[in-house]
Amino acid sequence: MFSPQLLGSVPLVNVHLINDVPDGLTRRARSFVGTHGVKIDVRPVEDHRQWWLARDIPAAVIDRMAAYQRRWGGLLLPPASQYDGGPKYLDPDSPESDSAGWWFEAGMQRTAVPYSFMISPSGEFGIQADRWAPLHATVEGWVESLALAHHASMWAKQVTKLVGDDVDDIELDGYEPVREVMGLADTWWRGPDSLVALYSGEAACMSFPAGRIALIYSGLDEWGLRGGVADDG
């Protein structure tokens, strides 16, 4: 099944259930994608290859975009709790270069946010505005974070939100990083009975320290803490 509210953002005729969940995800994330995600039709990268080649986009960059599309293209997931929901759906576009190499768009925004969702030359998933803020080391980490947020919100007895300088008051002694999210600017931490999500991407991307956000999911049992994931490896 999938959430009916997702259908308002895409033409119904283009929506498909997912029968090929990408590998390399935890059981929790695979279940999340298969249950709550849908696929929409997207225009193949190959349709643009000659146009991009004529504008000096290297073939290797187009190959990277095509590989990304084969794995993630058209995947529409429930909105993220931050970043105004995240990308509307995952699909590559708009290759561009700088001194670090070639970047491309990870997916179009759901709303009019002042940044783009990008894949870096080294494969990181993040947001780009005044500066680059890598959120997760891979797009898999982004998907894992969505799955964990969905899971934690369902099982927590209480969710507490802290903003700006109040984030500094969080004590993480005795907590361990949740490794599957491959966090960079955004990280997850697991304690004895709670999960803590720290979101620093917008603060870093727009030089806005007050934009830091923490969500604390408390009152979790072992299932709530891990959701069937035996370890972080």
Instruction: Report d(CA 165, CA 169) in Å as an integer.
Output: 8
Give the single-character DSSP code of 97: E
- Give the type of residue at 174: G
| Averaged pLDDT for residues 9-19 | 59
| Percentage of residues in the chain having pLDDT higher than 90 | 85
pTM: 0.91
pLDDT bracket for residue 69 (50, 70, 90): very high
Looking at residue 170, its pLDDT comes to 95
Do 169 and 162 meet the contact criterion of CB atoms below 8 Å apart?
Answer: yes
Strand pairing class (158-163; 186-190): unpaired
Strands (E), the chain: 15-17, 38-40, 75-76, 93-98, 101-107, 116-119, 125-128, 132-136, 158-163, 176-177, 186-190, 194-199, 213-218
Helix axes 27-36, 139-155, angle to 10 degrees: 80
Checking if the pLDDT of 201 tops 60, the result is: yes
Give per-residue pLDDT as tens, 98-115: 999 999 999 999 999 999
- How far are the Cα atoms of 1, 8, 42, 79 from residue 11, in angstroms, in the given order? 17, 8, 12, 17
- How far are the Cα atoms of 9, 14, 62, 184 from residue 38, in angstroms, in the given order? 12, 10, 25, 27
Find the range with the poorest average confidence among 9-13, 35-39, 208-212: 9-13
Looking at residue 121, its pLDDT comes to 98
Looking at residue 33, its pLDDT comes to 96
Looking at residue 39, its pLDDT comes to 93
Instruction: Report d(CA 64, CA 72) in Å as an integer.
Output: 12
Looking at residue 221, its pLDDT comes to 96
pLDDT bracket for residue 187 (50, 70, 90): very high
3-state secondary structure at position 90 = strand
Instruction: Report d(CA 135, CA 129) in Å as an integer.
Output: 13
| Averaged pLDDT for residues 145-163 | 97
Checking if the pLDDT of 5 tops 90, the result is: no
Query: Length of the chain, please?
Result: 233
Angle at 25 between CA 62 and CA 211, to 5 degrees: 80
Q: What are phi and psi of 200, to 5 degrees?
A: -120, 5
Looking at residue 160, its pLDDT comes to 97
32, β-bridge pairs:
none
